[in-house]
Amino acid sequence: MASKGSNTTGGWVVGSSSRTRIGKYELGRTLGEGTFAKVKFARNTETGENVAIKILDKEKVLRHKMINQIKREISTMKLIRHPNVIRLYEVMASKTKIYIVLEFVTGGELFDKIASKGRLKEDEARKYFQQLINAVDYCHSRGVFHRDLKPENLLLDSNGVLKVSDFGLSALAQQVREDGLLHTTCGTPNYVAPEVINNKGYDGAKADLWSCGVILFVLMAGYLPFEDSNLMSLYKKIHKADFTCPPWFSSSAKRLIQRILEPNPSMRITTAEVIENEWFKKGYKPPIFEEPDFRLDDLDAIFDQSMQSGNLVVERREEHPAPTATPATMNAFELISTSQGLNLGTLFEKPMGLVKRETRFTSKCSADEIMSKIEEAAAPMGFDVKKNNFKMKIQGEKLGRKGQLSVATEILEVAPSLYMVELRKSRGDTLEFHKFYKNLSTGLKDIIWKTGEEIKEVPPN
């Protein structure tokens, strides 16, 4: 999640009278929000390079005893320096927060392509699968197992190069028990290996490879090999490897997928054998990469409880003359780059296990009128609305499956008298967000001009 940027230049709020700086980084808009972290767009003022900064609250981390998990995530990413893995640039801390500076990736999720266009052609799917295997094989050679490979963690940069992200659930070799196996059940059900569900210990490399096999299947088929609304039925299908390849798969691709999705891990093909497979090797280009950063001194410094560390940074606001409050502006390039896979309708018509946590629509009404209409539509649904300039926080009064649903909303000016409204789930259950948006859009039908995929048709002015 940490660096899923939707555009390269749209991080700044034009109407803002101040900006926050952390060391040499100037912070922009929020890219994503979770229970323990917020991810912001930022710019390195020395180099002009765009980055994503993951900001964690120290008090929350300490209260929930997450220090070891955070240290593991950071130390893992410091071990990895590969063209197909999100890069960690540096780690900083203030007295109250931890800042993880990450590569900013602008191409969105790989699976946005499938959500919007359907399955990929075999050659294109192979290209992405090769990059995924390159990344996973490199991680395994460094004793790092991802354990949560899934669509949301596969991003694309501006050149279409695949980047594996989110090592929050990764496991280092030191966590392997005396039996040589890992014992933590984690991951996303549709992509998880049968031995992980068994909870009897598993080989992290073999489990990761199974997830890669599921991903390859989805790339080429456009749907999941194992899918069932009942969790126990889903697990039974996974345990039996109960799936069928569609007829358009080539025979060599079918054979490879069947060898990867082998429910018995001791019989499953290895990553090394995948790389030597004839189907895999077609057009294969081995990766070129740099040496990783093995220094972990800054990692200990950010958890220095004495607060005397010279590594501490200060978060400060820089004031600028305050212009009249207006919505943030978005240019044509930014509009196009945010328009992939936005149509929520496809998620309901053709379930694929893909979870979309944001959506957008455009309107020709004024920004003030849009805000009033959203407030009017949300209130009868039991949602409280808080406004700050042209941003809104819409929060449910009732507790859902994952706590209160909270939706961050921002109005962006696309062209004179044309606004894009972005709604992003910041907390709560994703399916509840889908339901909320469907109900909300019914109440907003008088002001919505274009929605989802239709935004692509907006003429850039």
DSSP of 105-165: B-S-BHHHHHHHH-SPPHHHHHHHHHHHHHHHHHHHHTTEE-S---GGGEEE-TT--EEE-
* Residue 459, C-beta contacts closer than 8 angstroms, at least 6 positions apart: none
CB atoms within 10 A of CB 300: 11
Has 148 been annotated as catalytic? yes
Helix count (H) and strand count (E) of the chain? 15, 18
For 73-93, give one letter per residue: b (16+ CB within 10 A) or e: bbbbbbbbbbbbbbbbbbbbb
C-alpha radius of gyration, the chain, whole number: 23
- Note whether 346 and 340 are within 8 A (CB): no
β partners of residue 315? 22
Cα distance between residue 259 and residue 277, in whole Å: 11
What 3-state DSSP class applies to 192? Answer: coil
Q: How far is CA 35 from CA 31, 405, 451, in A?
A: 14, 12, 29
Token output for 354:
């893909």
Beta-bridge partners for 395: 384, 406
Query: What is the 8-class DSSP label of residue 196?
Result: H
Q: Is 54 annotated as a binding residue?
A: yes
Q: DSSP character for 456?
A: G
57, 112, 137, 148: the catalytic one is 148
DSSP-based helix, strand, coil % in the chain, nearest 5? 35, 25, 40
The residue among 381, 372, 379, 461 whose CA lies nearest residue 421 is 372
- Tokens of residue 40, six digits: 């912001």
Active-site residue set: 148
Residue ranges for the known binding site for ATP are 54
Residue ranges for the known binding site are 54
